[in-house]
Chain A
Amino acid sequence: MSKLHVTTTVNGDELDFVCPPEETLLDALRGRLGLSGSKEGCGTGDCGACTVKMDGRLVCACLVLAPEAQGAEIETIEGMATGESLHPLQSSFIDNAALQCGICTPGILVAAKDLLERNPDPSETEIRYWLAGNLCRCTGYDKIIKAVQFAAAEMRGETA
């Protein structure tokens, strides 16, 4: 089938690519734009490893067709750090050992960042529900939740 030309904004940069109509946004990001930070876990929207922000809302990039991204604003894990300086969530995940294999981490960071933008002081329950669609088979989640709480407190200016 004929390929489609898609123009989209990723992490503030206007980019374009050509893809078959059935290609997912995740495959386009990873395969065509070289943004391999978003991972494919299940491919069916259950695991959250491919979480990106699209037009202000979290989505599973594996459940978005790439042509749908025409004219959209997309934020991925690659846009999270500023140059060499990590986002407080990223630093917190390292400091609190909130990752092991790392496959789920980009999706969790993107999702947690959106949570803290909406709610700078979420309860543990709120964090757990917000991240219920991000599966981690290594950590048992406790360290992830603690790392988000730690980063949230730091971003509120409450920790030394």
Chain B
Amino acid sequence: MHFVSPQSTEEAARHLAEGGAKARILAGGTDLLVQMKSGMVSPETVIDIKRIPGMRDITEEDGGYRVGAGVPGQQLNEHAGVKSLWPGVVEACDLIGSTQIQGRCTIIGNLCNGSPAADTVPAMAAANAVAHVVGPSGTRDVPVADLPQGPGKLALEEGEFVASVLLPARPKRAADAYLRFTPRTEMDIAVASAAVSLELAEDGTVSDARVVLGAVGPKIIVATAAAEAIIGTKLDDDALEAMTKACRDAATPIDDKRGTVEFRTQVAGVLAKRAARIAKDRAGERT
């Protein structure tokens, strides 16, 4: 195995393109090292991107925040600005692993690991986050929601990697929330999860919303019908019931040792409903 620490994203992309399927990007390592130790992957080249300038930074950009691929979860959770603007993304990040994992894990690693149960991916997708992708032929910006393709699969070309994510600006009276179900209170993987991001008009009507489900399909589910069910309402019981039903209709989970199809479908709806209420309460405070 070769270990390289490129000094620029271009250099990293070159290593990645040269290494092909035998090269892996190393940021926090909390997935990669576990996979290497279990024999799931045996990379010939490991590309540590954390020494590239900016990779460990959270920077303000156009009223939002750009989060570098090397920013550990704890650093994001400590960031007052991100917490205030995108509390749902931060609470999703904070749910990942232990304190020690938080010292290393990254939201971009969470995305690129490709787990359907990743906590930050529904939250980032609900936030309309945009991934900055670097590759051998240049860079492109892609909505996070468009990247997951299935377990372990992302819509990235050979030699491409995600260098940062932009959590965009948002108006006042807007907020988000993320909830997941796990049998334990800590150190567990989502059985079902839901992220809701919404904006309120001055009279408290939901003027825009995004609802994204996790762990109830091979990839995140952007539940457009669920969002439409609450847009134009004040989140009254009927609207929430319609949203819950739309979430259950959209869910396509599997049966496994952590949950049945029926349970996941039921819980996804409940979580979305609760997350919508939390997001609305938070949005009401951001005036």
Contacts and interface: CB of A to CB of B under 8 A. Distances in A.
Contacts of B104: 57, 59-60, 63-64
A146 to B, nearest CB: 19
Interface stretch (A9-17, A91-99, A126-134, A147-155): A126-134
Nearest to B73: A57
A99 to B, nearest CB: 19
B100 A65 contact: no
B103 interface: yes
B257 interface: no
B186 A132 contact: yes
Interface in B1-28: 1-3, 5, 26
Contacts of A115: 99
Contacts of B75: 57
Interface string B95-110: 0011111111000000
B264 interface: no
A58 interface: yes
Nearest to A115: B99
Contacts of A64: 29, 33, 104
Given A63-B33, A64-B104, A1 B98 contact: no
Contacts of B155: none
Interface string B174-217: 00000000000011000000000000000000000000000000
B113 interface: no
Given A63-B30, A133-B97, A133-B101, A57 B1 contact: no
A128 B103 CA distance: 17
Contacts of A68: 26, 29, 48, 50
Interface in A120-144: 129-134
Contacts of A43: 37
Given A59-B103, A63-B33, A65-B46, A133 B3 contact: no
Contacts of B102: 57-58
A104 interface: no
A4 B4 CA distance: 10
Contacts of A111: 99-100
Interface in B145-195: 186-187
A4 B3 CA distance: 9
Given A51-B100, A70-B5, 11 more contacts: A20-B1, A22-B3, A57-B75, A58-B99, A60-B100, A63-B34, A63-B104, A64-B33, A67-B3, A115-B99, A133-B187
Interface of A: 1, 4, 20-22, 24, 43-46, 48, 51, 54, 57-60, 62-65, 67-68, 70, 111, 114-115, 129-134
19 contacts: A22-B3, A43-B37, A44-B37, A44-B38, A45-B98, A48-B98, A51-B100, A58-B102, A62-B33, A63-B33, A63-B34, A63-B101, A65-B33, A67-B3, A67-B5, A67-B48, A68-B50, A129-B186, A132-B187
Q: List 6 tightest A-B contacts by C-beta distance, closest first.
A: A133-B98, A57-B103, A21-B3, A132-B186, A59-B103, A63-B33
